[in-house]
Structure 1
Amino acid sequence: MNAHPQLTDGGATEGKALPQVPPLARLLRLPEVMDRVGLRRSAIYQRMSEGRFPKSRSLGPKCAVWVEAEINDWIDEIARGNT
């Protein structure tokens, strides 16, 4: 018995690797960014203006979001000591 069954479409793709699907990009609102990085709103916006924190994106006049992957990269950079 095969421990890892393969999905097939009637034999047309049998033996071929399935294409890799990139992870879905998530957008984070300010409260989640604050929780994840441990900074307050003013510190986040100060660092953004200095170019030391990922820039937010505007989804509307009162809606700012950050790309999760950029926040994760920033956290990894800080953890490595590259401030």
Structure 2
Amino acid sequence: MTTPDRILRCKDVMALTGLSRSTLYAMMSEGTFPASVKLSKRAVGWRAAVVQAWLDAR
């Protein structure tokens, strides 16, 4: 059985990557950072495994 992927909120991603919110969104629009996952009308998050893979690739 696989464990579900954890969802990281923006503050967690900023702390993990060292990037600011505006840089995260700019990199997402350029396609150089993984896209967020819509959680509700006003909430987004990022899959922890995808963010970690992005960090490992850097």
TM interval, shorter chain, is: over 0.9
Specify the structure having the higher radius of gyration (Cα). Answer: 1
Match of 1:56 in 2: 36
How big is the alpha-carbon RMSD for the aligned residues of Structure 1 and Structure 2? 0.8
- 1:35, CA displacement in angstroms? 0.2
Q: Within 5 Å, which residues of 2 pair with 1:1-83?
A: 21-78=1-58
Structure 1 ranges of 4+ moved more than 6 A: none
CA distance in 2, matches of 1:26, 1:70: 10
- Runs of at least 5 residues in structure 1 that lack an aligned partner in the other structure: 1-20, 79-83
User: What is the TM-score of this pair, normalised by structure 1?
Assistant: 0.67
CA distance in 2, matches of 1:27, 1:72: 12
CA distance in 1, matches of 2:38, 2:57: 24
Higher helix share: 2
- Runs of at least 5 residues in structure 2 that lack an aligned partner in the other structure: none
Percent identical pairs in the alignment equals 38
